[in-house]
Structure 1
Amino acid sequence: MTTFLATIPSPDRGVWQLGPIPIRAYALCIIVGIIVAIWWGERRWVARGGAKGEVTDIAVFAVPFGLVGGRLYHVATDWHKYFGEGKNPWEALAIWNGGLGIWGAIALGAVGAWIACRRRGIPLPAMADAVAPGIVVAQAIGRLGNYFNQELYGGPTTLPWGLEIYQRVNPVTGYQDELGGVALDHTPIMVVHPTFLYELLWNLGVALLVVWADRKFRLGHGRAFAVYVAGYTAGRFWIELMRTDAATEVFGLRINVITSAVVFIGAIAYFVLAAKKGDREVIERGETTDPDTGDATAADDDPTPAGATAADQRTKVPGTEPVDKPEQ
Structure 2
Amino acid sequence: MNVSTLAAFPSPPQGVWQLGPIPIRAYALCIITGIVVALWVGVRRYRARGGNSDVVWDAAIVAIPAGIVGGRLYHVITDNQKYFCSDCNPLNVFAITNGGLGIWGAVILGTLAVWAYLQHKNVPFAPFADAIAPGIVLAQAIGRLGNYFNQELYGAETNVPWALEIFYRVDDAGKYAPLTGHSTGEIIATVHPTFLYELVWNLIVFAFLLWADKRFRLGHGRVFALYVAGYTLGRFVVETMRSDEATMVFGFRINEIVSVVVFLIAVVVFFTLKKGRETPAEASPAGTASKSVEGEAGEGAPAATSAQPSSAGDEDGPAEGR
Tell me which interval the TM-score lies in, with the shorter structure as reference length: 0.7 to 0.9
1:301 is aligned to 303
2:50 is aligned to 49
Instruction: Show the 5 A alignment for 1:182-197.
Output: 182-184=182-184, 186-197=185-196
Q: Deviations over 1:214-241 (max 9, x none)?
A: 0011111110011110000000001001
Q: Deviations over 1:271-328 (max 9, x none)?
A: 0000xx3421122346769xxxxxx987983349xxxxxxxxxxxxxxxxxxxxxxxx
1:270 is aligned to 269
1:35 is aligned to 36
Structure with larger RCO (C-alpha < 8 A, sep 6+) = 2
CA shift, 1:81, in A, is 1.3
- What is the rounded CA distance, in whole Å, between the counterparts of 2:290 and 2:149 in structure 1? 44
Instruction: Show the 5 A alignment for 1:61-76.
Output: 61-76=62-77
1:176 is aligned to 176
* More displaced stretch, 193-202 vs 1-10: 1-10
- What is the rounded CA distance, in whole Å, between the counterparts of 2:290 and 2:142 in structure 1? 33
- What is the rounded CA distance, in whole Å, between the counterparts of 1:209 and 1:122 in structure 2? 27
* More displaced stretch, 112-121 vs 232-241: 112-121
2:240 is aligned to 241
2:119 is aligned to 118
* More displaced stretch, 160-169 vs 1-10: 1-10
- What is the rounded CA distance, in whole Å, between the counterparts of 1:86 and 1:178 in structure 2? 20
CA distance 1:298–1:160, shift in 2 (3 Å)? farther
Q: Deviations over 1:3-29 (max 9, x none)?
A: 422211001111111111111111111
Which residue type is aligned with residue 280 of structure 1? R
- What is the rounded CA distance, in whole Å, between the counterparts of 2:103 and 2:4 in structure 1? 37
* More displaced stretch, 10-19 vs 84-93: 84-93
- What is the rounded CA distance, in whole Å, between the counterparts of 2:103 and 2:297 in structure 1? 38
- 2:193 is aligned with 1:210: no
1:224 is aligned to 223
- What is the rounded CA distance, in whole Å, between the counterparts of 1:72 and 1:60 in structure 2? 19
SS of residue matched to 2:53: coil
CA shift, 1:119, in A, is 2.3
Q: Deviations over 1:91-130 (max 9, x none)?
A: 1111122211111111100111012211222111111100
CA distance 1:9–1:298, shift in 2 (3 Å)? farther
2:130 is aligned to 129
Instruction: Show the 5 A alignment for 1:156-171.
Output: 156-171=157-172
State TM-score, norm by structure 1.
Answer: 0.86
CA shift, 1:181, in A, is 0.9
SS of residue matched to 1:211: helix
Contact 1:236 1:260 in 2 (8 A): yes
SS of residue matched to 1:190: strand
SS of residue matched to 1:151: coil
Aligned-pair Cα RMSD in Å: 1.9
2:277 is aligned to 280
CA shift, 1:157, in A, is 0.6
1:317 is aligned to none
SS of residue matched to 2:23: strand
- What is the rounded CA distance, in whole Å, between the counterparts of 1:248 and 1:135 in structure 2? 26
CA distance 1:88–1:6, shift in 2 (3 Å)? same
CA shift, 1:252, in A, is 0.1
* More displaced stretch, 7-16 vs 253-262: 7-16
1:316 is aligned to none
SS of residue matched to 2:39: helix
State TM-score, norm by structure 2.
Answer: 0.87
* More displaced stretch, 153-162 vs 46-55: 46-55
Contact 1:129 1:224 in 2 (8 A): yes
CA shift, 1:82, in A, is 1.4
CA distance 1:215–1:26, shift in 2 (3 Å)? same
CA shift, 1:187, in A, is 2.8
- What is the rounded CA distance, in whole Å, between the counterparts of 2:29 and 2:127 in structure 1? 29
Which residue type is aligned with residue 100 of structure 2? G
- What is the rounded CA distance, in whole Å, between the counterparts of 2:165 and 2:53 in structure 1? 44
CA distance 1:231–1:43, shift in 2 (3 Å)? same
In the alignment, structure 2 segments of 5+ residues that lack a partner are 282-288, 307-322
4+ residue runs over 2 A deviation: 283-289, 296-304
Q: How many residues align?
A: 294
1:93 is aligned to 94
Contact 1:139 1:200 in 2 (8 A): yes
